Amino acid sequence: MTATTEFRSSRKKNKNPIAKLLQKQLPIFLPPIVAIAGFLVIWQILCPGGSKGLPGPLQVWNETVDPYITQPFFDNGGPDKGLGWHILASLQRVGIGFSLSAIVGIGLGVLIGVNQFFHRALDPAFQIMRTIAPLAWLPIAQTGFSDNARAALFVIFITAIWPIIINTAEGVKNIPQDYRNVARVLKLPARKYFLKILFPAAVPYIFTGLRIAIGLSWLAIVAAEMLMSGSVGIGSFIIDAFTSSLISQIIVAVVYIGVVGFVLDRLVGFIGSLLVAQEHK
């Protein structure tokens, strides 16, 4: 049975469609708006204006509305730029690092998923490395790469790769025996097997890995950039603001980080859902 509105109770509703839509959507949007407003009120009460320490939301707003909130893309040269530029710079780094880790990670994941020997050989090492915090890689990266920017890329790469490898391998290993049997009976050549069966079957797992990985790389970039003060990037922006005791700027930057991280996560999830759509039912 698809639609299940009952016959008898179907006479009552007869309003215009917009009102109907609002009526429908309101219960979804209202609660979070109320919650955020409540949070801001409590924050304002706890940190009233003029007090020392953490500024209240009104103070944050007043101190940063111009230029940081209204002009995200001003450019005064050097690192003195709008938050938009900082975010973009960070996103660029994440993009490069994450893409690298996706390519390498999926490749390695397929390898250890398909090959028992490689699985036995490499899996324990991967399981250990994945627990290492991004920051712990930083000194190693800085020693290894003379260039701080490259070191940051490396940190993103090394942070993001583990969940991709592990999930991809899991996906490949979990391909139902039936699908493999189909391939065996049809004698599909290896290339076709990869493209037509192995890869599509593992896609949901791969995207689970990618989604975890994008979150981790966003975490890592902020941490990495914090050690790169003076350059463009949201992490550097925070550390520069911190050294200048501009707490309001930090708070705005933190909100930006949160929003961007959220959007990234949803974006990967959305791409994944496009590819996985209809498949695994």
Query: Residue 219 is encoded by which pair of tokens?
Result: 């975490």
Query: Residue 67 is encoded by which pair of tokens?
Result: 């230029």
> Considering only CA atoms, which of 64, 65, 48 is closest in space to residue 56?
48
Is residue 186 a contact point for another protein (CB under 8 A)? yes
Cα angle at 69 between 234 and 271, to 5 degrees? 60
Q: Name residues whose C-beta falls within 8 Å of residue 159's C-beta, 6 or more positions apart in sequence.
A: 101, 134, 137, 216, 217, 219, 220
- Inter-helix orientation angle 199-226/83-114, to 10°: 140
Per CB under 8 A, contacts with another protein among 188-247 are 188, 192, 196-197, 200-201, 203
Least CB distance to another protein at residue 4 (A): 6
Least CB distance to another protein at residue 54 (A): 44
Is residue 143 a contact point for another protein (CB under 8 A)? no
| End-to-end Cα distance, the chain | 17
Is residue 114 a contact point for another protein (CB under 8 A)? no
> H or E segment at 143?
helix 134-144
Using an 8 Å Cβ cutoff, are 246 and 235 in contact?
no
Q: Which is nearer to another protein, 72 or 200 (CB)?
A: 200
Q: Which is nearer to another protein, 5 or 76 (CB)?
A: 5
Is residue 8 a contact point for another protein (CB under 8 A)? yes
Q: Which is nearer to another protein, 3 or 18 (CB)?
A: 3
Is residue 272 a contact point for another protein (CB under 8 A)? no
Return d(Cα 221, Cα 244) in angstroms, integer. 21
Q: Which is nearer to another protein, 1 or 125 (CB)?
A: 1
Return d(Cα 138, Cα 237) in angstroms, integer. 18
> H or E segment at 195?
none
Is residue 20 a contact point for another protein (CB under 8 A)? no
Is residue 179 a contact point for another protein (CB under 8 A)? yes
Least CB distance to another protein at residue 279 (A): 4
φ/ψ (deg, to 5) at 75: -140, 110
Q: Which is nearer to another protein, 125 or 277 (CB)?
A: 277
Least CB distance to another protein at residue 191 (A): 12
Return d(Cα 281, Cα 204) in angstroms, integer. 12
Q: Which is nearer to another protein, 24 or 281 (CB)?
A: 281
Query: Residue 54 is encoded by which pair of tokens?
Result: 């953490």
Q: Which is nearer to another protein, 110 or 250 (CB)?
A: 110
Is residue 117 a contact point for another protein (CB under 8 A)? no
Binding residues for another protein, rule CB under 8 A, total 29
Is residue 50 a contact point for another protein (CB under 8 A)? no
Among 146, 178, 243, 270, binds another protein (CB under 8 A): 178
Is residue 6 a contact point for another protein (CB under 8 A)? yes
Task: Give the binding site for another protein (CB under 8 A).
Answer: 1-8, 10, 176, 178-179, 181-182, 184-188, 192, 196-197, 200-201, 203, 278-281
